[in-house]
Amino acid sequence: MNPREIFCPNKACPARGQKGKGNIHLHSQGEGRWICDVCQKTFTTSKGTIFYRLRTEPQIVMWVIILLAYGCPVQAIVKAFELDERTVRDWYRRAGTHCRQVHEHMVESSHQDLQQVQADEIKVKTQKGTYWMALAMTVSTRLWLGGVVSRKRDLELLSFEKTIS
C-alpha cells in the first residue's frame, strides 16, 4: 500500500485527513500497522471500515454481505462458508452501521442542491392489497431523498411530495 495515499485517522492529530504529506510510515508490516510522524500514533488501514479487527479475508466478508443483500438465507451462508451464525449476523450489522455512517456523512451533513427535485408516486399491488409509494429524488445527482408508503392515495401522501419539492 502506498503511504502517500494514507492519512492519519487520529482526531487530535493536526495532520488528520491530509494525504501525501509524507508523515505516514510503515510501523509493522506483519500487522499492517502504520505510524504518523506528527502525533506518533499507530493505526491500521482498516480502521473505520467494516473490516476493522476481523480475522477473515475481506473478500469473504464482502461475498457474505452481497449474498445477504440479495436475500440469501443466513443458514445457507453459514453452511456454504462454514461460519458461525453470530459471525454472519455481526458482519451484516457492521455493514449496515458503516453504510448508515457513510450516508450521514455524505448525504445528510452535506448541502444538497434542491433546485430540481422530482417527486412521484407509484401504485404497488401485493397479496395483501394495493399500496401507494411516494418518492422523491434530485434530478442532477439522482439521489433518492426519501419515500412514504400508504394504503391510500390521499392528502397525507401528496403532502410528502409537496414538502420535498
Q: How far apart are the first and last CA of the chain?
A: 45
**pLDDT value for 83:** 96
Is 144 part of any domain? Answer: yes
Q: How many domains does the chain have?
A: 3
Domain co-membership, 34 together with 76: no
Q: How far apart are CA 55 and CA 61, in angstroms?
A: 10
Q: Is residue 10 part of a domain?
A: yes
Considering the domain architecture, whether residues 101 and 124 belong to the same structural domain is answered as: no
Q: Is 39 within a domain?
A: yes
pLDDT, tens digit, 9 for 90 and up, residues 80-105: 999 999 999 999 999 999 988 888 88
Q: How confident is the model at residue 160 (pLDDT cuts 50, 70, 90)?
A: low
Q: Is residue 72 part of a domain?
A: yes
Assigned domain for 71 exists: yes
* Mean per-residue pLDDT, 122-139: 89
In this prediction, residue 69 carries a pLDDT of 93
Same domain, 88 and 71: yes
Provide the pLDDT for residue 77: 97
The reply to whether 65 and 35 lie within a common domain is no
Q: Is residue 67 part of a domain?
A: yes
* Residue 22 maps to a domain: yes
Q: What is the pLDDT of residues 21-77, one digit of tens each?
A: 888 888 887 777 889 999 999 988 887 888 988 989 999 999 999 999 999 999 999
Q: Has residue 51 been placed in a domain? A: no
- What tens digit of pLDDT does each residue of 112-126 get? 777 888 888 899 898
Q: Note down the domain range covering 133.
A: 117-164
Residues 104 and 62 in one domain: yes
pLDDT at 161 over 70: no
Examine the domain organization and report whether 62 and 102 are in the same domain. Answer: yes
